[in-house]
Structure 1
Amino acid sequence: MAKKAHAAPGRPGRAAAKTGRRARAIAAASTVAVALIAATGTAVGAVGHGGAAGSGAPKRIGAAPRVPAGATMTGATASGTRLHLSVNLAPRDPQALADFVTAVSTPGNAQYHHYLAKGQFAAVFGPTRATIAGVSQALRAAGLSPGKVSPDGLSIPVTATAAQASHAFGTGFRNVRLKDGTTDYLNTSAPSLPADVASSVTGIVGLSSINTVSSHHSAVRRASRNGSAAAVSGRGSRTVTPHTYTPALCADFTGSGLTDGTDYYSPGKLAGAYGMTSSATAGAGQTVAVFELENVDDGSIAAYQSCVGTSTSVSHVYVDTTAGAGAPATDGSVGVESALDIEDLIGLVPGAAVIDYQGPDAASATDQNVLDVYQRMVTDDQAQVISTSWGECEAVESSATANAENTVFAEAAAQGQSVVAASGDDGSSDCYRATGSTAKAVDDPASQPYVTGVGGTTMTTSGSTTTQTTWGNASGGTGGGVSSRWAPVVYQGGVATTTKRAVPDVSALADPADGYPVYYQDDSQSSSPVPGLVGGTSGAAPTWAAAIVQANAGTACQTNGRVGFLNNALYKAARSSYPTNFWDVTSGNNSVYATGYTAAAGYDEVTGLGSPKEAGLTAALCAAKGTAATGASTFHPLSSPKRLLDTRNGTGWGLSSIPATKPLVAGGTAPVKIEGAGGIPSSGVTAVVLNLTVTGTTGAGSVIAWADGTSKPSTSNLNWTGASQTIAASATVKVAGDGVVDLYTSSTTHLIADVQGYYTSGTTGSKYTALAPARLLDTRSKVGISTTSKISNAVISLKVRGHGGVPTAAGSVVLNLTATQTVGGGYLEAYPEGATRPTASNVNWSATGTTIPNLVVVPIGSDGNVSIYVHGTSHVIADVSGYFSTSGSAFDTVTPLRLLDTRQTTALGSGKTLALQISGRDGIPSTGVKAVVLTVTVTGTTGSGYLSAWADGGSRPTASNLNWASGKTIANQVMVPVGSDGKVDFYTSSATNVLADVAGYIG
C-alpha cells in the first residue's frame, strides 16, 4: 500500500524501481462482506443465513497469500519474530450499515446528510460487546494477548511472536527472498479461528511482511526554463520572500521563464479552470486530512506559504511512528509526495486546516501500519475530507486488508467524511511496478466502493480557451480500468456498464508537463527548499479534495449538510445535468505499458465522469435534505404504455446524451427516470406500475426493482431459468424523492421497462376496488370468445364493463393475462379498445409449449372493452382481479419485504392451501386493509401447475394468478383482496415453493 501516485519524469526501469522505497504487497483479492451492493443470491432473491453454529472446530478465514513472482522460499521464519497484527471484526449488521450509507449519501432520501455524530459508530454499527468479548476470549485461549479494541470496535490489536501466531491461527511462516534480494516472511495458509467466532472476523491483517518494490522518485521539474539549480542558488533556508496573497505565485515561478497555464498551473489558474473560488479564505472553517507514509518537510511547506501569501494551519498526527523517525525529507524524493498533497490544498483552500496523518516510511510500512493510519483518520473524525495519494494494485493486496479498509471507509461515509484517492500513474497496468505485469489492473483504495477514485488529465490554456485531454504517455498515465475485486456498484448503474466496479470516478490535472508548483527539499541542489513542478494523480486527488472542501464551506452545504461520501450524488449529478456539473474529457488513453482504455463522451475508465465544474457540483452535492413521501395515493393510467428503458437501443440508458446498447451486466443496476418521463408529472409521484421484460438472457436470473436512494431489497420482481429467454412481469415500485427507480439484474441480460401508470399523493386520480378473481377470457373453452382455436396474429375484443364485477364507472381494469400452449415465440399487448395499438408488450414467450402469466393495468375503451393483440400463436386467458374508478380505496406504498418463503420451512404440497398474514406486517395497518399488492414467485416446481390467491375466508376462485411448467421459476404481480382476518390464501395445484414480496396495500 506504499506505492505513491505522483508521476515519474520517465518510465522507470526495473533496476531503478528496485532501488526505491518498498511497498506492501500480499495475496489474492476477494469480495468483502460490507460491499455497497449485497452479494447476488438465488434467482428469486437472496435468503439470509445466520452465523456459525457455535462449534469450536477451526474455520479458515480468507486465503493464504501468494508468493510474488520471482521470489524464492528460504526457510522457516524465526520463531521469535515479532508481528504487529489486528483481528478485524465485521459490523454487527453489515447490510444495515450499507443501507444507512446509501440513505445518508443519496439526494432525495429522507435521511440524506443525516450523518452519525462523532463517536456514535461503535454503538450503532460496531460489533456488539458480546462479539468483541467472544473474539478476545478466543484469542486469549489461543495463547495471545489481545490489546484494547479500536474506538469504532472494528479491530483488536495483537502483538505476538511468529511462534505464538502460528499456534493461535493454525498457520506456518516462511521467509521469502524477493527479486531485489530483500527477505520477508509470509503465512503459509489462511489463518483459522474457532467457528463460533470466525464468522465475526473479516480478516487478520499483518501475518505477512512481503512488500513489493516501488520507485519513490518524483516527477519534479525545476522551476526554470533550463531546469538548472541556478534559479535558487544562494537562497537561505526557509527564506522565500513573503508574498501577499493575490492569488499569484512569487517570483520563483513567475520569473522562471515558464508560462502559467502552459508549463504549470498556479492555484489561481487551476481554480479558475474548474470554477472554484480563489481567495485567501477559501475553505474557511473546514478541515482536510492527508494520508502520508513519509516525513513532511515543514520548511518546504513554509516556503510555499510565503510564496503564495497564505497562513494555512498544518498539523501532524503520527500513527505507529514518531516525529522525525524514518528517512529525512532531504534527497529530492522523500517529502515530495507530502509537499504536493499539502501545498496543493494550501493553494486551493488556504482558509481550511490541514492535518497530516503520517505512518511509518513506505520502506518499512506494513499493511497493518497503513490500515492503522486510515482507521485513525476515521475514528478521530476531525476532518470532513480525507485525501490519499498512496495505493497498490488490487491483485497484490490481501483480502483481509481490503475487507478491513472497506469497513473503515464505510464508517467514514456513515460519519459524513469524503474520501478521495489517486487512481495511480501506471495507466491501465497498475501492477506493473509491483509485479512487472502489464495486465489490466486498478489501484486500491481508489477502487474501494466507498472511495472516490481520481484519475488524471493534461490541461493547457491559451488565452481564454482551456483544453483538457487524458494524461497518458510513455512516462506515465492516469490509472483506470475495472476492479477485479468489487461487484458493480449501484451508483455507477447505467453509466459504467462494466462487470465490476469501474475506476476512476472523476479526474483532474495530473500531467507533470503542466503540473503543480511546489517547494521541496533536495540537499544535493540547495540547503533551502527549492521550487519545482510535480505531476501525477497525486495532484488530482487533493485538487478534488479541495473542490469538496469549498463545497462544504459554501452556503448550501452549511445549510443542508456537508457532502460526505459523494459517489451517489456525483453520479446522480451526471445523469441529471452532465454538461453543467462535469467537464467531459473525450480524447486520449491510458495505454502506458500495454493497450489500455480510451476516453469517450460520458463516463470512461480513463477520466471517469471528468473534471469538476464547481458551481454545478456544489448545487448537486449540497442539495436540501430529503423528506419522506407520506399519505395514500391515487392511480393515473397512461392511455398507452410508454417505454422508459430499452438496453437494446439505449433508450433511457446512462447519460441522456450518450445512449449505450449494452445489456445490463450481472450484478448491474439501471436507474430509470420516472418523474418527468413518458407523460408522468415531474413531482408528486409516489409509485409507478412498470412492465419489466428481459430478453436475450444468458442464464438463470432475477430482476429487483426499488426506489432509488433506498436500500436494495432482498425481494424480486421477475425471474427466469435459463439462456435465450424473453419474459415479462409487471411491478408496482415505490418512487423516492429523486423520481428514479433502480432495476438490478443478477445475470447479464437486456432489460426493457414500460410504464403503464403511476400513483400520486393527490386525490385527482382513481382508486382501487378489489374483486374476487373471475375469468373473463379463455380461448381454450369459449369463455369471452366464440372459438376454441388458438389465436394467431389477431386482436381479441374483450368485454370488461359489466363483466366479472367490473361496473360501468370503471376507468381501468386489472387483468391477469396468461399465454398458454404457445407455438414458437410471441407476445401479448393489452390496450383500450379503439386506441392505437402500442409498441410495448405485456406477456412475452420464446418457445413452443410455454405457459406464462402477467398482471396488467389497462384503461377501458369508451365501448367498455379492452383489446388484446396476439403476436404469434397462443391460447389466451384473462382473469379480472379489480378495477380503478373514482370510488374505491387509495394505495399506500411500503418498503419491499419478503413476507413468505416456503424454502425456509416446507414447500406447499399439491392441492394444498396456505394462509399468509398481511395486516400488521411491514408497516401495513393491522385493520382496514382491503387488498395487497404482492409479487408472488414459485420455484422448485415439481410438475405443471397453477397458483390461485384470494381473501382468506372466501371461496377459492376458478381463476389463477400464476401458471407454470415443471422445473420453471415464475414470478407475477398479484393484487389480491385481504380477508377480514388480515390474511390472503394461496392454493397450488402441484407441489412447489412459494415466495411472496409485498409492494403496497389498498386501505
Structure 2
Amino acid sequence: MFKRVHASLGRSRHAAGKTGRRARGIAAVTTTAVVLTVAATAAYGAVTDGAETGSHALKRIGTAPRVPAGATAAGTTASGTTLHLSVNLSPRDPQALTDFITEVSTPGNPRYHQYLGKGKFASAFGPTRATIAAVAQALKADGLTPGKLSSDGLSLPVTATVAQASHAFGTGFKNVRLKDGTIDYLNASAPALPADVAASVSGIVGLSNVNSITSHHTAVRHLSGSASVTGPHPRTVAPRTYTPGMCTDFTDAAGQAGFADGTDYYSPGKLAANYGMTSSATAGAGQTVAVFEMENADPNSIATYQSCVGTNTSVSYRYVDTTAGSGTPAGTDQDGYGVGTETALDIEDLIGLVPGASIIDYQGPDADNATDQNVLDVYQQMVTDDQAQVISTSWGECESVMAGATASAENAIFQEAAAQGQSIVAASGDSGSSDCAPATGSTANAVDDPASQPYVTGVGGTTMTGTGSTKTQKAWGVSQDGGSGGGVSSRWGPVLYQGGIATTTKRAVPDVAALADPNDGYPIYTLDDADSSSPEPSILGGTSGAAPTWAAAIVQANASTGCQTNGRVGFLNDALYKAARSSYPTNFWDVTSGNNSVYATGYTAAAGYDEVTGLGSPKEAGLITSLCAAKGTAATGASTFHPLSSPKRLLDTRNGTGWGLSSIPSTKPLVAGGTAPVRIEGAGGIPSSGVTAVVLNLTVTGTTGSGSLIAWADGTAKPSTSNLNWTGAGQTIAASSTVTVAGDGVVDLYTSSTTHVIADVQGYYTSGTTGSTYTALKPARLLDTRSKVGISTTSKITNAVVSLKVRGHGGVPTGASSVVLNLTATQTVGSGYLEAYPEGATRPTASNVNWAVTGTTIPNLVVVPIGSDGNVSLYVHGTSHVIADVSGYFSTSGSAFHTVTPLRLLDTRTTSALGAGKTLALQISGRDAIASTGVKAVVLTVTVTGTTGSGYLTAWADGGTRPTASNLNWVSGKTIANQVIVPVGSDGKIDFYVSSTTQVLADVAGYIS
C-alpha cells in the first residue's frame, strides 16, 4: 500500500497553504494599530519620487512593497529590530552587458562562447570604483556602515537597526499579521538616497522580511513494501551495480501499491528514453550542476537512492547564511513533510539522469524564516563561485508579490551567470495560471519568479503515459490539485528570443516543459514525517521535478562531443528558440492538449509555443546538435549584389507568413517592444550560407500609434538607429533597408509600437565575386508624371503600368543589370500602392510604396532588375502621381559593398534644425567602421522629423552641383524615413539640402568602395 501526506492524491502543496508556518523572531510589537498606513520618517523633510529641494536632494528608488493580501496591521516595528540589507548596484553599462550576453550566445558572432572567466565580472561589467565609493560614502554619511563589497561588485551589505534604516532611507516601518498568523515587517515607502548616487542603485533588499518563497513539488506518495523499516533506525538498501531502473526494494513497494514503471512513475531509464537522453553510469561526466535549496537536506535519503540505482555520484553541500543542520528540526520541513523532500527530488532526479556529473547543493536558511536577502545571497554565491555550468532551482515566489528591488537584483545576478556561460533553469510553479493563489488567495493570472526572469529558462509541467512508440503527453493541469505554471509576466517586457514565437506584450512563461504530474511522477527516497528517520520509497511530482530534468538535459549536452568542441551551452534561451525556429519537430516534443486552469481559467496547450508547456519537452539528440552547433563564421569584407527577379515576401504578420514556428502561423501583429526574427539565408531563393547583407522593403500597416522600426543582424546588439518611422494610428508606411546578415542568417525587426509588419526581399549581398557591383550616379529624374518627364501626359496614374526607360538614361549604361531608383508617390487619391519590377516579368505580389489616405507624398528607394528591353515597369494600384529618380546601378564593373554596424552619423535634434534652403555637409569617410579613403558611396537611412511644412531633401556628393532630384518628400507634420545611396565627394563628405525647415537624422548601413 502507499501513504499520502494529503487526502487528495497529487494535491499541490501550494493548494494546502502554509498552515504550519511559524512566526519569525522579530522585535516585539509596540502598538496595536489597525490601519496599514505609517508615515515615513522625515530624515530630510518631505521626500518625493524625483529630485528634492532643500539641503539634501533625495530620490526614491523603486516603489513601496505591496502589503500581502489578507494581511492586517500589527503595529510599528520596534526600532531596535536588526535588518540585514544589501544595497544593490547597477552594472556600469547595462547595455554593454546585454550586448555581451547576446554576442557570446550567438553562433557566427566572433565572441560566440567566449564567456567571462571566473571572477572577471566585476572588472568587466561591475560598477566603477568611483561609483562604489560614492554610494558607500553616502551610506556612511547617513550613519550606516557598509560591509565588504561582493566579489562581483553588485552589492554592498549593510547591517542596521530599524531606527537607523528609517533615518537613512527616509521610510517608516510597520508590522503586518499575515493570513497564516505570521507577523512580519515591511518598509512603509520606497527607500530614498541622495539623488547623485540613487541612479547607481538598482534597489535595497532586506527592508522587509515578507517572503513567500516555496518549493514546487506536490504531495508525496510514500510507499510501504517488502523492505519497510520500523523504529528509529535508518533504512538501508543493498548497494547494486548501476542500472537505469529502480531496485527491487522500490519496485516491490510500488508493485504492492499497484504502481507500474512507465505508467504510475518513471524510472530514470524510462524517463531518459522518452526524452532521447543517454542512460549510463557516466552520463554527464566532467560536468557540475548546482541546486538551489532553502531547507535542510537529508543525506541519508540521497545515499539510499544511490544504493537503489547503483550510482556513486559526487554530492557536496555549501551553506549560505546558515550552517549544517541549523534549519527546521530533523524530520520535518516547513510544511510538515519529511525533511529535505524538495532537495531529495532535485538531487535524486539529477543522479538518475546524469550520474557521472558532480552535484553541489547550495543550502540557505529554511524558507519559513528566510528573507529575500537570504534568497539573493544563495543565488549570488552559486554564480560568483562559478563552479557549476548548470544551475537548477525548484523554488519560487509569485512575481507580482516579490519586491521590485529583489527582482532587479536577481536579474543582475542572472545576467552575470549568462555572461559566465552558466545555464539556469527554474520550475514555473504548480498553481497553473494563478501563481499567487496559494500566497494571497488571488486567482488572477500571475507567473512565478525566477522562472519569469529574462535570463532564466522557465520549466513547466506535463502529464506522461507510456514509453517508446506508445508514449503520450499533455499539459499537467488538475483543478485545485496543481498544474503547470505559466502565463505572461507583469514585470518584464517582451524578450528578443521569443520574438515571433510567443507573441505577447510581455515575457511569456514557461520556455519548455517536462514531466510534473505526481500521478506518473518521480521515484525517490525521502523521509516521511517528523517521527521518521528512515527514508521511504516515494513518488513525487510538480515542476520541481521538471526543472532538474531539463538541467540534466543541458548537462548531457555540455558533456557531448559537440559542446566539448564548440563550448558549453551557456545562456539557454537564445539557443532554445533558435532551435525551435530552425527545426522545431527535430528538437522538441510538442504538447498540444491540456491546460493550466487550476484556480481559474488559464491557458490551453496548442501546436507550437503556448503559455502552459512553452516549446515542449526535449528531444535530446536534436537539441544537442542545435545547442552545441559550431561557431560558424560571419562573412566579412567586400560584397557583391544579387538581385531577385521579383521581390519575395519573407514576413507578413497579417497572415502568418514567416511569423513564428514553421507551419504554426500567427496572425497577431508585432507587439510594442517586440521583435520578429526573419530568416534570410535559405529563404525566398536566397542561398543558405555566405550572405552578408540583404535589401528589404519593410512595410508597417495597421499601426496603432506613432512608432519606429529597427532592423539589424540577429545575434548582435540592437542599434539605436531606425529604418522606418510613422506618426499615428491607421498608417501604412514602407521603406527600403539594407541590413547586415550575421552568421546565423537571421535579421531581427523591432517595433516601438504595435503594428503589422511586412518584409519583402529585393536582393542580397554575398562575399563572393559572382554578383554585381555598384556605380553611384549623380541623381537624375527619369519620370515625373506631373510635368511630362518620361511620359507624354500630366495625368495621374490610375490602376495602370508605366514603362520607364532606364538603360541609356540618367547615366545608366547598356551593361547595367539592376537600377537603383528613388520612387515617390504624391498627390495620392485614397489608398494604394506602387510596384516596381523588370519589364516583361510577371508583376509581383510585393509592393514598394504604400499610402493610405488622399494627399500623401511618400518616397522609397528600390533596387529593380532591368528588363531585357532596358526598361522597368511601375504599376500603380489606386491613383497617384509618380516620380522616379535614378541614383545608381549594378553591373560587373562597379565597386563592392561593405557592411557596417548600424550607427547614427547625424541627428540635428542635438543641435538645431536644418533651416529651409540650407545645406549641411556630413563627413562620411573615416567615421567609425567606414574606410578613411576610397569610399565612393554610402548607404544611409535618412529621416526627417519635426517638419514645419511640405518639402523635400536632396543628398549628393560634397563639392558637386546640387541635383534636381529628391530623396525624401513630405507634407507638414510628418516623420518620413527613406534609404539613400549617396555618392561621396573626394573630401569624404556628402551634402544634405532641405527645402523647408526640419530635423534630419542619418544612420549608416554600409558603404561602397
TM-score w.r.t. the length of structure 1 is 0.94
Amino acid at match of 2:138: A
Q: Does the CA contact (< 8 Å) of 1:85 and 1:159 recur in 2?
A: yes
| Change in CA separation of 1:77 and 1:22 when aligned onto 2, cut-off 3 Å | closer
Give the Å deviation of 1:393.
1.0
Amino acid at match of 1:441: A
Match of 1:262 in 2: 263
How far, CA to CA, are the matches of 1:288 and 1:214 in structure 2?
21
1:770 has 2:771 as partner: no
Equivalent residue runs for 1:365-764 within 5 Å? 365-461=370-466, 464-474=469-479, 475-523=481-529, 526-764=532-770
Match of 1:183 in 2: 183
| Change in CA separation of 1:220 and 1:413 when aligned onto 2, cut-off 3 Å | same
Give the Å deviation of 1:229.
10
Give the Å deviation of 1:376.
0.6
Q: Deviation string for 1:788-811 (max 9, x for gaps)?
A: 111111111111111111111111
How far, CA to CA, are the matches of 2:207 and 2:611 in structure 1?
34
Between 1:249-258 and 1:711-720, the stretch displaced more is: 249-258
How far, CA to CA, are the matches of 2:623 and 2:101 in structure 1?
20
- Which structure is higher in RCO with an 8 Å CA cutoff and minimum separation 6? 1
Give the Å deviation of 1:944.
1.2
| Change in CA separation of 1:232 and 1:336 when aligned onto 2, cut-off 3 Å | same
Match of 1:250 in 2: 247
TM-align CA RMSD: 2.0
Amino acid at match of 2:560: G
How far, CA to CA, are the matches of 1:644 and 1:184 in structure 2?
56
Amino acid at match of 2:928: D
Q: Deviation string for 1:460-510 (max 9, x for gaps)?
A: 116741111111102100001111111111111111111111100000000
1:360 has 2:350 as partner: no
Give the Å deviation of 1:218.
4.5
How far, CA to CA, are the matches of 2:527 and 2:496 in structure 1?
44
1:63 has 2:60 as partner: no
| Change in CA separation of 1:523 and 1:172 when aligned onto 2, cut-off 3 Å | closer
Match of 2:313 in 1: 312
SS in 2 for 1:395: coil
Amino acid at match of 1:750: H
Q: Does the CA contact (< 8 Å) of 2:395 and 2:426 recur in 1?
A: yes
Equivalent residue runs for 1:810-825 within 5 Å? 810-825=816-831
Match of 1:46 in 2: none
**Matched residue count:** 969
SS in 2 for 1:288: strand
How far, CA to CA, are the matches of 1:57 and 1:819 in structure 2?
55
Q: Does the CA contact (< 8 Å) of 1:425 and 1:477 recur in 2?
A: yes
Give the Å deviation of 1:334.
3.1
Q: Deviation string for 1:550-585 (max 9, x for gaps)?
A: 111111111110010111111111111111111011
Give the Å deviation of 1:109.
2.1
Match of 1:43 in 2: none
Amino acid at match of 1:302: A
Give the Å deviation of 1:95.
0.4
1:348 has 2:353 as partner: yes
Q: Deviation string for 1:582-623 (max 9, x for gaps)?
A: 101111000000011000111111100111111110111111
Q: Does the CA contact (< 8 Å) of 1:143 and 1:164 recur in 2?
A: yes
Q: Does the CA contact (< 8 Å) of 1:23 and 1:214 recur in 2?
A: no
How far, CA to CA, are the matches of 1:764 and 1:819 in structure 2?
34
How far, CA to CA, are the matches of 1:621 and 1:55 in structure 2?
56
Q: Does the CA contact (< 8 Å) of 1:23 and 1:212 recur in 2?
A: no
SS in 2 for 1:346: helix
Match of 1:210 in 2: 210
Q: Deviation string for 1:939-982 (max 9, x for gaps)?
A: 11111111111111111111111111111111100100111111
Amino acid at match of 1:314: V
The counterpart of 1:848, out of the listed 854, 858, 866, is: 854
Between 1:450-459 and 1:229-238, the stretch displaced more is: 229-238
* Structure 2 unaligned regions, length at least 5: 1-7, 26-35, 37-50
| Change in CA separation of 1:251 and 1:525 when aligned onto 2, cut-off 3 Å | farther
SS in 1 for 2:546: helix
Q: Deviation string for 1:200-234 (max 9, x for gaps)?
A: 1111111111234869985210235xxx8984447
SS in 2 for 1:948: strand
Give the Å deviation of 1:75.
2.5
| Change in CA separation of 1:65 and 1:229 when aligned onto 2, cut-off 3 Å | farther
Q: Does the CA contact (< 8 Å) of 1:20 and 1:215 recur in 2?
A: no
SS in 1 for 2:400: helix
Q: Deviation string for 1:381-420 (max 9, x for gaps)?
A: 0000000000011110111111111111010000000000
Give the Å deviation of 1:329.
4.5
How far, CA to CA, are the matches of 2:902 and 2:718 in structure 1?
9
How far, CA to CA, are the matches of 2:14 and 2:299 in structure 1?
31
| Change in CA separation of 1:669 and 1:337 when aligned onto 2, cut-off 3 Å | same
Match of 2:39 in 1: none
* Structure 1 unaligned regions, length at least 5: 1-6, 28-50
How far, CA to CA, are the matches of 1:230 and 1:525 in structure 2?
18
How far, CA to CA, are the matches of 2:588 and 2:810 in structure 1?
56
Match of 1:294 in 2: 295
How far, CA to CA, are the matches of 1:577 and 1:969 in structure 2?
40
Amino acid at match of 2:833: Y
Match of 1:32 in 2: none
Match of 2:45 in 1: none
Amino acid at match of 1:138: A
Q: Does the CA contact (< 8 Å) of 1:16 and 1:215 recur in 2?
A: no
Q: Does the CA contact (< 8 Å) of 1:773 and 1:881 recur in 2?
A: yes
How far, CA to CA, are the matches of 1:837 and 1:231 in structure 2?
80
How far, CA to CA, are the matches of 2:469 and 2:287 in structure 1?
32
How far, CA to CA, are the matches of 1:55 and 1:560 in structure 2?
58
Q: Does the CA contact (< 8 Å) of 2:24 and 2:184 recur in 1?
A: no
Q: Deviation string for 1:504-543 (max 9, x for gaps)?
A: 0000000000111111113556431111000000000000
Match of 1:276 in 2: 277
1:984 has 2:985 as partner: no
Equivalent residue runs for 1:783-862 within 5 Å? 783-862=789-868
Match of 2:980 in 1: 974
How far, CA to CA, are the matches of 1:53 and 1:640 in structure 2?
64
Q: Does the CA contact (< 8 Å) of 1:8 and 1:218 recur in 2?
A: no
How far, CA to CA, are the matches of 2:813 and 2:119 in structure 1?
61
Give the Å deviation of 1:167.
1.1
Give the Å deviation of 1:10.
2.0
Match of 1:132 in 2: 132
| Change in CA separation of 1:281 and 1:235 when aligned onto 2, cut-off 3 Å | farther
Q: Does the CA contact (< 8 Å) of 1:23 and 1:211 recur in 2?
A: no
TM-score w.r.t. the length of structure 2 is 0.94
Between 1:604-613 and 1:165-174, the stretch displaced more is: 165-174
Q: Does the CA contact (< 8 Å) of 1:702 and 1:719 recur in 2?
A: yes
Match of 1:36 in 2: none
| Change in CA separation of 1:214 and 1:345 when aligned onto 2, cut-off 3 Å | closer
Match of 2:28 in 1: none
Give the Å deviation of 1:648.
1.0
Between 1:54-63 and 1:985-994, the stretch displaced more is: 54-63
SS in 2 for 1:396: coil
